Each structure stands twice: as structure tokens, then as C-alpha cells.
Amino acid sequence: MEDGVYRRLLECLRGLRAVSVAFSGGADSALLLAAAREALGDRVLALTAVTPYMVRQEIADALALGAELGVRHQLVELPMPEGMGDNPPDRCYLCKRALFTQLIAVAQQQGFAAVLDGSNVDDLTDYRPGLRALGELGVKSPFLECGIGKEDVRRLARALGLPTWRKPTNTCLLTRIPFGRKITMETLQRIEEAERLLLDRGYDWVRVRCHGDLARIEVAPGLRRRLLDEADPIIEGMEGLGFRYVTLDLRGYQLGSMNAPG
């Protein structure tokens, strides 16, 4: 592909002997994996972490895309890291520290010294304590090195024909829970099922923020009126999952709306 940004990314990757890519199946890691495959051929290993707080559909999507790209792919199962059960403000740091420590160990066992992640320059404007963990562990972030932002990621992914080019940004289920509220598997499952209910109704940019027995729904601004028109079946579905109160956030879908620690 004749694109200066993409050529710069390939040059950065070709400077590495062999790499493993932390591959969630989202837009960022999919582009990084595809570029690494083009730059390094078979000297690429995709590693997908499986944790109790990941959306299960994301794992299935990652497996399918890894197979489509023809890369060696391995799932790495991880328990809830110590200290995260109380959902502290630095949960992202604790998670990334534990997760990438394990990914690095697996990669080294397979003969892959460099571990890459798909952080892009737009991540620097958000509350992302996990980036500190990546720096401490020596994880490389080629998009940051090349000055690639989210708009570049989607543009390049579309040009490469990747199905993730317009995939909504997804994050772990913990981002739906306020800091300081104890995490349970029941709560995580309820959130995942609540979002699946809305996704199945066509709300592809959606979050269900969990405040105890209250579900605060965020959808794309253009879909707020539609959600109100469909309120009765949605409320019924949410109540069936154990929510007592169901609200619509009038600000609409906001990536990272519960990230700020204060």
C-alpha cells in the first residue's frame, strides 16, 4: 500500500527480528498484527489474553481474525490480578502490569524477544495508567513511535481490507464499574449480557455503566431517540438481568466516561 504513514510503520517493524503482538482483536491491535505480518512474515506471534473481565465475543473475534491473517496465535489465560477486586483507580496499571508480565514470559518461551502493543497517540490524551506499566516492562508501542492516531488506524485498516476498520472501540468490562466498587463475576456477567442485549438490537456503539442495581446506558447520540422509543422491551430485558433501575445518559456514548479517578 502506497501510504507514507504505513511505510513508516513497516520500516519500524522491520527493524525488529521477531515480535509478539498483544492482540485483542480490536482495530488497533488488528492493524498492528497485519502490519507485523507484512513486515516480518512468519516471525510474528499473536498473543490474546483471556481474563475474567474480557468480553467473550472479543476473544472469538480475535481467533477468527488471527486465522484470517494466517499468523501463529496463542491464548493466554490470566486470573484476576491481585489488588483489582476492589476496583482501585490504578486498576489499569495493575492489569497491564500483570497481563504483560505474563505475555512477555510466554513470548520469550516461544523465542520472541519483543512484545508490541497497539497504543496510539490518542491514548495519551486519556487517563491511561496502564501506559506506565508498559514503559516499565519495556513493551514497544510502534504507533506511538510513528505518531499514529486513531484516525490513521481506521484509515489504514480500511485500506488493508481489515474488517475491524469501523469496529467500535471496546475495553474490558471493568470500565463499566465505578472506581472503588467491589468487582464480582455476577456483576461482570450482568454487564456483558446487558450490552449484548443492546448490540443484538442494533446499538453498536454502546456502554452499560453499572451503578449497583442501576444501569446507565450510553448509546451514540443519533440513537438516543430510538432507544427511548424502544424503552419498554429494553427495560424488561434489563430487569430480567437483575437491574432495578434503567436510565439513558443524555450525553450519549462517551469512550472512557468513567476513567477519571476523581
| pLDDT per residue as tens digits for the range 214-224 | 999 999 999 99
Mean pLDDT of all residues belonging to the chain: 93
pLDDT in the model for residue 171? 84
How many CB atoms neighbour CB 61 within 10 A? 20
Topology of domain 4-166 in CATH is Rossmann fold (3.40.50)
Q: What is the pLDDT of residues 183-212, one digit of tens each?
A: 999 999 999 999 999 999 999 899 999 999
Domain map (residue ranges) of the chain: 4-166, 173-248
Alpha helices in 110-243 (DSSP H): 130-137, 142-146, 150-159, 185-200, 224-229, 231-240
Q: What are the tens digits of pLDDT across the range 87-123?
A: 999 999 999 999 999 999 999 999 998 999 999 999 8
Burial 26-47 (b: 16+ CB within 10 A, else e): bbbbbbbbbbbbbbbeebbbbb
Q: What angle do CA 42, 48, 49 make, to 5 degrees?
A: 150
- Give the pLDDT mean for 135-163: 96
What residues have CB less than 8 Å from 86, skipping those under 6 apart? 180, 182, 183
Q: What is the percent of the chain with per-residue pLDDT over 70, rounded to a whole number?
A: 97
User: Residues 47, 20: contact at Cβ < 8 Å?
Assistant: yes
Q: Is the distance from CB of 232 to CB of 99 less than 8 angstroms? A: no
